[in-house]
Amino acid sequence: MAIIYHITPQSWFDKFEGLDYYESPTFNEETFIHLSTSTQVAGVLERYYVGQTNLIKLHVDTEKLTAELKYELATNNEYFPHLYGRLNKNAVLEVEKI
C-alpha cells in the first residue's frame, strides 16, 4: 500500500460532508487534485500554506483511488502526484489536523 497526502483547510473539506467524494479548491480550473508524497509535505506547507490555520492532511491509499493518478513534473523539478478526477473518500485512511 502506498500512501500520499493532500493538504486543505478544514472548512473546505467540510463542504463535502455527507458526500462520497472530495474536490480541491482548484479542481475545476486545473482538472486535477494536488497531492504529495511524505517527503514533499513539508515543502508544500512552506510554499503554499504559511500563516494558514485549521489545515488538515488527508492520508490517501493509492490502491483505493478510482480516478487516474499521474506523477508529473512540477515545483523544484520534482514529480508530484496529481489525481485526475474526484477523490473518492473511501481511499482516505485518515484526516489529520495540522
Note down the domain range covering 50: 3-97
Split into its structural domains, the chain has a count of 1
CA 5 to chain centre: 5
Q: For every one of its 98 residues, what pLDDT tens digit does the chain have, with 9 covering 90 and above?
A: 799 999 999 999 999 999 999 999 999 999 999 999 999 999 999 999 999 999 999 999 999 999 999 999 997 899 999 999 999 999 999 999 99
| Locus of grid cell 504559511 | 50
The order of strands in the sheet holding 92-97 is 3-9, 55-61, 92-97
CA 2 to chain centre: 14
Per-residue model confidence (pLDDT) at position 1: 77
Q: What is the pTM of this model?
A: 0.94
One-letter amino acid of 69: L
Helix spans in 1-97 (H): 10-14, 27-30, 41-48
Q: How far is CA 2 from CA 36, 75, 90, in A?
A: 12, 22, 15
Q: Which CATH number belongs to the domain containing residue 49 in this structure?
A: 3.20.170.20
